Amino acid sequence: MANNTHDTSASSGTRSREDNPLLDFSGLPRFGEIRPEHVTPALDVLLADAQAAIDHALDPHTPATWADVVEATEQATEPLSRAWGIVGHLNAVADTPELRAAYGENLPRVTEFWSSVGQNLELFEKYKAIAASEGFTALSRERKKILENALRDFRLSGAELPEDQKPRFMELQERQAALAKAFSDHVLDATNAYAYIAKTDAELAGLPDDVVQAARQAAESAGVEGWKFTLHFPSYFPVMQYATHRPMREAMYRAYVTRASELGGTYGAGKAEWDNTAIVAELLKLRREEARMLGYRNFAEVSLVPKMADSPEQVVAFLDDLANRARPYAEKDWQELREFAAAELGLTQLEPWDIAFAGERLREKRYAFSENEVKQYFPEPAVLGGLFKVAEALFGVRIRADEAARWHPDVRFFRVENSDGSLVAQFYLDLYAREGKRGGAWMDDARSRHRKSEAEGGLQTPVAYLTCNFSAPVGGKPACFTHDEVITLFHEFGHGLHHMLTRVDELAVSGINGVEWDAVELPSQFMENFCWEWDVLADMSSHVDTGAKLPRALFDKMFAAKNFQSGLATMRQIVFSMFDMRLHIDFDAEGAGSANELAREINERYHVIPQASFSRWPNTFSHVFAGGYAAGYYSYKWAEVLSADAYAAFEDAAKLADGSVLDARTGERYRQEILEVGGSRPAMESFKAFRGRAPTIDALLRHNGMAGAPAQ
């Protein structure tokens, strides 16, 4: 553990800047050199520099102008954000005890700094003076939007609170940050801790060969006999989907849904100190206190201030409307699944660990194909080639392999170029699941586009992290992706395009910065639609053994099954979204009921599938308790309305031209009106500029097979 007393002399700072890779912003991060012991010294320097810039901005002799206050502050704080972003990224993808300790030690310092900036009334007054000055009208649209956002964020950060309340408000921010980190750590630890060791061939029955190979390889790496299955999704879900050995499915299901709870130890995936129940309750209590200090009725109102939705009531009404439309389809899906399981599989009582298994069997019978059959047509090289070809055809760019220092040998690096070869952006691609890597899939920014002076280097091009958790290659063959994983990859690349193709030169509204949270999923969900186009899939498929393209007959079966159990999937998302909203509207974290009891209540009200009595899924709901989606999980469905309607423009263009949805003219308009403008204007303005009107829900319902009455 580093000493809390640090030498901040000029000579020490100079040595730190020369020797510490976290203080080198001349190019890409030096991942091969960054060590946990670099974190604290780097933050000593960066926090001091940032604070000095804030102090200068606050000096009475510093004029209240864009250049002297906003720009100067931004230039001094961006290195802090970039370095801390690198540390946070490594903490998520290459966790070690030493790095976790360094991150945890410095998290309160970074949180305290940003809280103090947000609460600084003098700085708030400087920003207000700029907004009220004669020079405001001469500012660009982007800079006006930045000021508007900043004034809003000052208020949400407690700048207008009485001075005697600000220390408590800062305590709330620091404690929430610490709790979110602990929540995430517990989920990762509980996931890593569990293993099901299969000893017999009977336990392997039904599992795809590559899954069995991966389990054998995992067992050998762990020095155990048999086959090792874990709760990491590429290992866990195929068991749920294909394993005919019911006791194995049950054991792994119970372990999965009780992770990071008081039942984790009972089912083999936890320790008492990993139980997130108390963290959930405390987070909710602190969020409610924060909302009331700011003058809001609940935290949901606070969360929605920077979003498109006007009020919690509007979000609840949206979700209720969607639930009413989807429920008849969900009821039909559930009835069909139970009848099939009883008649064909002998499962008269369909348990939670049977649902994915029975669903896959029903899919195979009804549509005469399995997901594993489809998977063989999507080896990684073909999928990446197809994905890049879509982006190139639509947006006029080229994507090429590039070189950079990496945090793991599996990571790849690419550059995005204009047609003339000039650099647009770069991105890291980290595709495979492994221990020490947080589950899920996400895009994050390594740095954002920013135009500096020529003396400072000119244009800073954006760099993105694209992270997934797919199965790694086994048996000397390339990794093969399920169609769902292909969709996930397109989704995250859509986020990446939003970040990388921006033409905005101002950091605070460049790329995804400044975009309303409930609109940020538009570009990601938009890209998913191309995964259901024959021309696209045929061009990005190559059977891992034969090299054959995806047969049209198999694609037709896939497309026929596209909305298989879409009613159930929609209700599941509504349960997550409504649970999140209710938690932050009217749930009393200090009352008699628990968050898990609320989850069961919401499930009973909305879903048609009963929830297992032992399920503790809220204890791993990282989106809400560790990922910035508090009172915002509805964003996925909200933005899906926008993305489906946006994609309909490409469908319309294809019909008019009797051609492909990869229409370059429509792609150019989409790039200009959605991707390039980033957060420089309200998302609704961008949507209307592209579509020519406000969004409607019609395309979403059509894409999900819920445009009419459920087929009998």
Statement to judge: residues 259 and 225 lie in one domain: yes
Low-confidence stretches of the chain (pLDDT < 50) are: 1-15
Quote the number of domains for the chain.
Answer: 4
Statement to judge: residues 65 and 87 lie in one domain: yes
Statement to judge: residues 14 and 149 lie in one domain: yes
Query: 549 near 535, Cβ under 8 Å?
Result: no
Q: Which helix (H) or strand (E) holds 278?
A: helix 277-293
Q: What is the DSSP letter of 540?
A: T
Residue at 333 is within a domain: yes
Statement to judge: residues 399 and 542 lie in one domain: yes
Catalytic annotation on 134?
no
* pTM for the whole structure: 0.92
Statement to judge: residues 264 and 284 lie in one domain: no
Statement to judge: residues 223 and 363 lie in one domain: no
Query: 427 near 462, Cβ under 8 Å?
Result: no
Last residue of a domain, one of 248, 269, 290: 269
- What pLDDT score was predicted for residue 711? 62
Whichever domain contains 503, its CATH number is 1.10.1370.40
Last residue of a domain, one of 241, 269, 297: 269
Domain span at residue 301? 277-369+565-633
Statement to judge: residues 488 and 429 lie in one domain: yes
Q: Is 474 helix (H, G, I), strand (E, B) or coil?
A: coil
Query: 71 near 130, Cβ under 8 Å?
Result: no
Spot the catalytic one: 380, 492, 506, 651: 492
Statement to judge: residues 261 and 282 lie in one domain: no
Closest to 519 measured CA to CA, from 692, 648, 688 = 688
Q: Is 398 helix (H, G, I), strand (E, B) or coil?
A: strand
Residue at 678 is within a domain: no
List Cα–Cα distances, 450 to 37, 201, 407, 513, 619, in angstroms: 30, 57, 25, 12, 39
Statement to judge: residues 292 and 263 lie in one domain: no
List Cα–Cα distances, 113 to 50, 108, 109, 286, 359, in angstroms: 9, 9, 6, 19, 50
Statement to judge: residues 225 and 259 lie in one domain: yes
- CB 331: neighbour CB atoms within 10 A? 15
Q: Is 180 helix (H, G, I), strand (E, B) or coil?
A: helix
Last residue of a domain, one of 245, 269, 293: 269
Residue at 653 is within a domain: no
Residue at 621 is within a domain: yes
- What pLDDT score was predicted for residue 3? 36
Query: 257 near 355, Cβ under 8 Å?
Result: no
Residue at 639 is within a domain: no
Residue at 329 is within a domain: yes
- What pLDDT score was predicted for residue 454? 81
Whichever domain contains 317, its CATH number is 1.10.1370.10
Residue at 675 is within a domain: no
Statement to judge: residues 299 and 243 lie in one domain: no
- What pLDDT score was predicted for residue 13? 41
- Cα 40 from Cα 688, distance rounded (Å): 46
Q: Mind listing the pLDDT tens digit for each residue in 330-375?
A: 999 999 999 999 999 999 999 999 999 999 999 999 999 999 999 9
Query: 432 near 444, Cβ under 8 Å?
Result: no
- Hey, what are 385's tokens? 């080639």
Residue at 305 is within a domain: yes
- What pLDDT score was predicted for residue 709? 64
Statement to judge: residues 35 and 120 lie in one domain: yes
